[in-house]
Amino acid sequence: MKHFFKAAAVTAVLCAAMSMTAFAGEWRQDHVGYWWQDDDGSYPTSTWRWLDGNGDGISECYYFDSRGYMVSDTIINGSELDANGAWVENGQVQTKKSWEAVKNSSDPMEILRAVSDSNDTDRVDADFLMTMQLGDGTQSLGINMTGNMKMQYDGESNLQYTMDMNMDMGALGSARTTAFYTDGWYYYDISGQKIKMQMDLADALKSAGSTNLLSSNDLSYVQNASMARNGDNITIYFSADGDALMQAADEILSMSGLSLSDLGVSMGISQYNGEFTVDAGGNITEEKVLMNMTVGDGTENISMQIYMELHINGVGDSVVINIPSTDGYMDMETYLKQIAGQAA
Residues 171 and 314 in one domain: yes
Residues 203 and 69 in one domain: no
Residues 242 and 101 in one domain: no
User: Is 325 exposed, middle or buried, given 0-12, 13-18 or 19+ CB atoms closer than 10 A?
Assistant: exposed
Taking the C-alpha atoms of residue 105 and residue 262, their distance in angstroms, rounded to an integer, is: 46
Residues 160 and 242 in one domain: yes
Residues 338 and 235 in one domain: yes
Q: Write out the H or E segment, with its range, that includes residue 244.
A: helix 242-253
CB atoms within 10 A of CB 15: 20
| CA dihedral sign of residues 180, 255, 293, 140 | negative
The strand pair at 193-198 and 330-331 is best described as parallel
Q: What is the pLDDT of residue 9?
A: 43
Instruction: Give the total residue count for the chain.
Output: 344
61, 79, 106: which is the final residue of a domain? 106
Q: What is the pTM of this model?
A: 0.66
CATH number at residue 46: 2.10.270.10
The tens-digit pLDDT sequence of the chain (344 residues) is 444 444 444 444 343 322 233 345 789 999 999 999 876 677 888 878 888 877 787 888 888 988 889 999 998 877 889 999 999 988 899 887 777 788 888 999 888 877 764 334 567 888 999 999 988 888 888 889 999 988 876 655 677 788 899 989 887 788 888 888 888 888 888 888 888 887 766 556 555 554 444 444 456 778 889 999 999 899 999 998 878 777 766 665 665 555 666 667 777 888 889 898 988 888 888 999 999 988 887 778 888 898 999 898 877 666 788 888 988 888 877 776 776 665 55
Within 8 A by CB and 6+ apart from 300, the residues are 3, 136
62, 81, 106: which is the final residue of a domain? 106
Q: What is the pLDDT of residue 10?
A: 42
Q: Residue 10 belongs to what domain range?
A: 2-21+120-343
Q: Identify each DSSP E strand in 139-265 by its residue range.
A: 140-153, 159-168, 174-182, 185-190, 193-198, 222-230, 233-240
Provide the phi-psi class of 116: left if phi over 0, else alpha when psi is between -120 and 50, else beta. Answer: alpha
CATH number at residue 7: 2.50.20
Residues 135 and 33 in one domain: no
